[in-house]
Structure 1
């Protein structure tokens, strides 16, 4: 299929507007009624397959309610749907009355241990406040953790009256570190133990997810040892670490001498099976009152390698092109054109972006 210059411009504008904006909001996508979603974690009906992995992880982590704790490491290349699976797992476990703290290590910026602990505390308190119905605005927690000791005394006292001494104990150490009366390492035990202490206080069980865990390797070499020491003491809190840097994650969980050597049940994600990819594509195109012929299916599967992100991406590109061309059936010709105009730039971007350090990525 040869697109005219005008067609090509319009199509590329659609791709840039809908597909290449990797921060497009869920609300916008739902409003547009797009059958595919690329670039951000998927949810609801756009989450497909992974039933085996999801059920296995649920079984493992639900066992903590019976006193059996098993931690898991989920290792997956980029774009295989790792984060989508973790967020779906979070949703499922929350239905089982488990407190779930999802922590994206890539959101720590500037990248420092102090910022890591500060964000971790905020996330922990926010989740427990929501779960227990504690009448506390998230902004008050943020003010208490981020403010100076002198400025937030009343706020801290008010929060302690609601949350309890667990919060007060942490804030005491937090203020001592801010006043440089203690080293930041003094925060480790208090901050990392907070989910466990709140679990005991509330009678609940907690599941902590560290996504992109390998980024924490940039911290001081003793950080992992300190984290391991605290995790091993916990009875009501289970952990999942996940990462997309295969080499670093394998080094963390499988290398002798690593603090986390043989500590986790290790699982990996693979591309979809052909049958699952076909079912997914047919279902999603049908949801938009489109169809896809056999050659179109083969073309998308071959070009995407059945990797979830690329199935979503090429499906979306093909849908937008067919929409512009006023076609209701996705053919190989449409897929080939969509691929040529949209998909070829992605692998190059990811390869080039991946060579930068965490700090450089955040700046970019």
Structure 2
């Protein structure tokens, strides 16, 4: 049995809500050689978006997908780039090594998947060789090479010379398209929008936001119908009012509704089912939310409560008095801290709590 709603992992078109325009724009950008910078908060579907675009482009491109999460050294980054490149290679491994590595010969390890490992002490040479790989692959295969760096902001922690070297090499690669994906928006903006950064103006920016209700409702309705369940407009409105169009949490809540309906062997889903699903999820996440809440200062908590209540003018004298802030600068400091903790996001001119379920929990706590 296939679940109609999927969350927590990369998905294909079947389980991907909306984003049709973004997929097409990305495909055109890749084929035309336009570098792209994609950023949004976590769990907005960035990796799935890129994966769908690459899958639909198929044999037209040579994809190299590099996960930068947790990368600690230049050597490790070089190994990840090289390993990603070799996994798409369809020829002999010996040929890959001979044609692509000119000044160093890495070791190939075979585990769950092929990996490249460089000799300790060759960090600089390995890094320079890895950066040249995409251009060499384009020349050898005759295809447009697409290099995707997921969580690219992590690279900025590897030393001040790393980004300049990458930019200096990448700008020579005419047959390579680079796609930079990141979830820490402040760091991504610093890398790609700061005039002093080597990657300033290096590509087209694509910012993913939450999915609009009119786009999400047909997706939800169709998924429930395909699995044999009827849902009315009011229920879908309630779901989206709770999740505020957040892709991950909308799919999570709908999955729980579907699961409970399946177990109860009923053909329809009611508001009572929604209340039950919410209660279950909040009970499961309560300990995590409590730990998060306990780690915050009193001013950060006050501000989260205000944002959860849809307060808008966060610097007015009335707001400061009602929420116990002495001055506007205290609000600014709390906002900055909450953004750094990735607990709030700014969309369409207003702040939102990143996790809409945490928002519900906050409202319950604040009401006593």
Per-residue deviation at 1:164?
A: 6.5
Q: Which residue of 2 aligns with 1:171?
A: 104
Selected match of 1:47 from 1, 10, 16: 16
Q: How does 1:46-195 map to 2 (within 5 A)?
A: 46-63=15-32, 69-95=33-59, 97-106=60-69, 108=71, 111-127=72-88, 129-130=89-90, 134-136=91-93, 159=94, 162-163=95-96, 165-172=98-105, 178=119, 180=121, 184-195=123-134
Looking at structure 1, the residues matched to 65 and 144 of structure 2 have their Cα atoms a distance apart, in angstroms, of 14
- For structure 1, the 5+ residue unaligned runs are 1-31, 64-68, 137-158, 357-364
Partners of 2:120 and 2:278 in 1: how far apart? 57
Distance 2:22 2:292 in 1: 27
Question: What is the TM-score when the length of structure 2 is the normalising length?
Answer: 0.72
Cα distance change, pair 351–94 in 1 and its aligned pair in 2 (3 A): farther
Aligned partners of 1:210 and 1:242 also within 8 Å? yes
Q: Which of the numbers 18, 34, 39 marks the counterpart of 2:3?
A: 34
Q: Please, which of 297, 310, 316 is the counterpart of residue 255 of structure 2?
A: 316
What is the DSSP-based 3-state SS (H/G/I as helix, E as strand, rest coil) of the residue aligned with 1:242?
Answer: strand
Counterpart Cα distance in 2 of 1:287 and 1:349: 37
Judge conservation of contact 1:206–1:238 (CA < 8 Å) in 2. yes
Which residue does 2:195 correspond to in 1?
A: 256
* Cα offsets for 1:195-228 (capped at 9, x unmatched): 2112102211101111111111221111111111
Please give the secondary structure, in 1, of the residue aligned with 2:145: strand
Per the TM alignment, residue 178 of structure 1 is displaced from its structure 2 partner at its CA by 2.7
Query: What displacement does 1:343 show?
Result: 5.0
Query: What is the TM-score when the length of structure 1 is the normalising length?
Result: 0.72
The answer to whether residue 264 in structure 2 is matched with residue 325 in structure 1 is yes
Question: For the structure 1 residues 267 and 46, does the alpha-carbon distance in structure 2 shift closer, same or farther, using more than 3 Å as the test?
Answer: same
In structure 2, C-alpha distance between the alignment counterparts of 1:206 and 1:273, rounded to whole Å? 33
Contact 1:90 1:100 (C-alpha < 8 Å) held by counterparts: yes
The answer to whether 1:215 aligns with 2:154 is: yes
Task: Looking at secondary structure, tell me which structure has more helix per residue.
Answer: 1
Q: For residues 343 and 315 of structure 1, do their structure 2 counterparts lie closer, same or farther at Cα, with a shift above 3 Å needed?
A: farther
Cα distance per residue 1:107-164 (max 9 Å; x no partner): 64xx32211211211110221x23xxx144xxxxxxxxxxxxxxxxxxxxxx0xx337
Q: Match for residue 307 of structure 2?
A: none
Kindly indicate whether structure 1 or structure 2 has the higher relative contact order, using CA contacts under 8 Å at least 6 residues apart: 1
| Aligned residues between the structures | 286
CA contact (8 A) 1:170 1:191 kept: no
Compute the RMSD of aligned alpha carbons.
2.6
Offset of 1:260 from its aligned partner? 0.8
**Structure 2: 5+ residue stretches without partners:** 108-115, 296-339, 343-368
Equivalent residues of 1:289, 1:328 under 8 A apart: yes
Distance 1:59 1:351 in 2: 41
